[in-house]
Amino acid sequence: MMDEFNDSEIAKLLRLKRYEQPPAGYFENFLHEFHRRQRDELLRQPIWRICFERTRDFVSSFSLSTLTSYPAAVTAVLVCAAIISLRIYQTPQPPTVAVKDRPVMVVPASTEPEWTLASPVATRVFNTRSLRNITESAQTHRSGTPRYVLDSVPVSYETTFKF
Amino acid sequence: MDEARKDEDQQLVARAKEGDAGAFDELVVKYTPRLYGLVYNMTSNHEDTNDLLQDVFAKAYKAIRGFRGKSSFYTWIHSIAVNMTLNFLKKRGRRFSLSLDDVDASIQNDKEFIEATASSSPVREADLSELQKRLNEAMMKLSDEHRAVVTMFHIQGMPHAEISKILNVSEGTVRSRLFYANRQLQNYLDEFRKNPVS
């Protein structure tokens, strides 16, 4: 008869413990209980935490090691980024042009000028088109204020008649 | 570990990572009985075991997307279960309820149980249910880490290498913990045999 428990006897006794089981039906209900707890926990959590956790899970799915396992893709992305950044920084600036004077528009003093002998009918400029500015007159062969204008084009620089 | 089971786990994990809740359910159903035995023999309380198992699978569900597959799912889920149980036991302190005293009576009709106790040994001489009770008490006298090793090796039948992966310690540490735990259990049961009424 053995007077002491040896390792083998203890091992046998301990192995019997694997037959200890939970109440009947426990494993069948475990999954339902798991789903119920998951739903309850989800309802307890604020929206921002759910969003945060999902974002964190999403980001954590992309580790550096995962990215480096696709060297061609990473290289392509880096090259594209470099090209785009170069194009952005090397976009030509529009040339700066010095402007001497702003064109002065000739605007009639009033829409209905006075009918005097000093300003004959021939000098009236009809507003059928946009007014020409004074620089356009410089394109003609004569300088000075045209006296006769037909269809917005000066036709005569002769002085007006005076009686 | 069985390669077929490993492959099946890999497929289920891959589906679960893609958001297939049904695949994760299959993993839950598959591993619940085994993990129950592990946690139950560490806590010796059914209610605590149930709560811990629910938490273990909830944690696994949240972390499954980050599971890289460096270890098998088997090792991974067992690591979660053992670590969560050890943390729980640290918080609980030495308080425990020996629900293991209420050992399933059907065990004593089990073939392996009868064979194990039929040979000439101190087991046959002692009252079996009393011996089981004493063994459970002896188990609970072990430190949490030693009890974890004993549970995984003797009760769950895991090899040393698997236990070392789960606990993230060397195989030498596993062997030494096992040796020390066996000595403690042996001393406690010998004492009971010499003084059965104590």
Beta strands in B112-189 (DSSP E): none
The answer to the question of residue A16 being in a domain is no
More confident residue, A54 or B83: B83
Residue A38 has pLDDT above 50, yes or no: yes
Interface residue of A13, A27, A41 to substitute, partner B, most B CBs within 10 Å:
A13
Interface residue of A5, A35, A40, A67 to substitute, partner B, most B CBs within 10 Å:
A5
Pick from A98, A27, A29: nearest CA to B35: A27
**Å from B166 to nearest chain A CA?**
19
Over residues B9-24, mean pLDDT = 92
| Residue B101, pLDDT score | 43
What's the total number of domains in chain B? 2
Q: What confidence category does residue A6 fall into, taking pLDDT thresholds of 50, 70 and 90? A: confident
Q: What is the 3-state secondary structure (H, E, C) of A49-65?
A: HHHHHHHHHHHHCCCHH
User: Of B56, B73, B92, which residue sits at a domain end?
Assistant: B92
The answer to the question of residue B58 being in a domain is yes
Convert the pLDDT of each residue in B99-137 to its tens digit: 444 445 445 555 555 565 555 455 555 566 777 788 888
Instruction: In whole angstroms, give the CA distance from residue A36 to residue A31.
Output: 9
Same structural domain for residues B62 and B124?
Answer: no
Same structural domain for residues B111 and B177?
Answer: yes
Of A70-74, B11-15, B90-94, highest mean pLDDT: B11-15
Q: Which residue has the tokens 């995984």?
A: B152
Q: Residue B178: which domain range?
A: 103-194
Contact B132 A13 (CB under 8 A): yes
Is the CB of B29 inside 8 Å of chain A's CB atoms?
A: yes
Read off φ and ψ for residue A147, nearest 5 degrees: -95, -30
Cβ-based contacts of A14 with chain B (< 8 Å): 135, 150, 154-155, 185
Q: What is the CATH number of the domain that holds B21?
A: 1.10.1740.10
Reading the block at residue B26, the tokens are 């299959």
Q: What confidence category does residue A86 fall into, taking pLDDT thresholds of 50, 70 and 90? A: confident
Same structural domain for residues B113 and B169?
Answer: yes
Q: What confidence category does residue A24 fall into, taking pLDDT thresholds of 50, 70 and 90? A: confident
B48 vs A17, B36, B141, CA distance in Å? Answer: 18, 11, 18
Residues B100, B48: contact at Cβ < 8 Å? no
pTM equals 0.61
Q: Collapse the DSSP code of A148 into the 3-class scheme (helix H, G, I; strand E, B; otherwise coil) and give the result.
A: strand
Same structural domain for residues B118 and B51?
Answer: no
Q: Residue A57: which domain range?
A: 22-89
Interface predicted TM-score of the whole assembly (ipTM), two decimals: 0.76
| Residue A95, pLDDT score | 60
User: Of B46, B73, B92, which residue sits at a domain end?
Assistant: B92
Same structural domain for residues B108 and B79?
Answer: no
Of A9, A20, A31, which has the smallest distance from its Cβ to B121's Cβ?
Answer: A9
Crossing angle between the packed helical segments B46-63 and A26-44, to the nearest 10 degrees? 60
Instruction: In whole angstroms, give the CA distance from residue A97 to residue A140.
Output: 26
Is the CB of A70 inside 8 Å of chain B's CB atoms?
A: no
The residue count for chain A:
163
Q: What confidence category does residue A97 fall into, taking pLDDT thresholds of 50, 70 and 90? A: low
Convert the pLDDT of each residue in B33-81 to its tens digit: 999 999 999 998 999 999 999 999 999 999 998 888 889 999 999 999 9
Of B32, B53, B155, which has the smallest distance from its Cβ to A17's Cβ?
Answer: B155
Reading the block at residue A119, the tokens are 């300003």
| Residue A160, pLDDT score | 62
Beta strands in chain A (DSSP E): 148-150, 153-156
| Residue A2, pLDDT score | 47
Residue A21 has pLDDT above 50, yes or no: yes
Convert the pLDDT of each residue in B140-179 to its tens digit: 899 999 999 999 999 999 999 999 999 999 999 999 999 9
How many Cβ atoms from other residues are within 10 Å of residue B128's Cβ? Answer: 17
